[in-house]
Amino acid sequence: MNRTTGISWLVTAALFAAIQLVPVERTNPPVERDIPAPPGVKAVLKRACYDCHSNETNWPWYSRIAPISWMVARDVREARAELNFSTWNRYSAKEQASRLSESWETVAEGDMPLKFYVAPHRGARLSAHDRALLQRWAANRSER
């Protein structure tokens, strides 16, 4: 290894170490009121949705390594802002119905769960049975 390559590696390592010092918020605020759902539906939601769309996020080991940690924290923050099952009480009945309908459409189109999330979290994959269960439940809740 020549001197320039050695210095480049040293600078890269120092920068990588330095970015680890940038604080990243990985919090799980208290659950205010969880979405009411039958046990089967709740199990699917917890397995495939709750890591991003609730205050019950399981922060994986890689959520502590920058710059990946920044992306994970941002994704969870944005997902919670869009739909948070742990603050279901904040939505009016009309908003609840709308959010469930929109959520089902997103799942039906294959846009959720996100492909890059499912790759390392195989348990988040939705089977045909899971999809049918969610569809029936969302349809019934939206009609109320």
Q: What pLDDT score was predicted for residue 91? A: 96
**Number of domains forming the structure of the chain:** 1
Look at residue 47 in the predicted model and tell me its pLDDT: 96
Domain that residue 57 falls in: 3-142
Structure tokens at 1: 């290894």
Phi-psi sector, 40: left (phi>0), alpha (psi -120 to 50), beta:
alpha
- Whether 142 shows a pLDDT value over 80: the answer reads no
User: pTM of the entire structure?
Assistant: 0.86
Q: ∠ CA 66-50-28 to the nearest 5 degrees?
A: 60
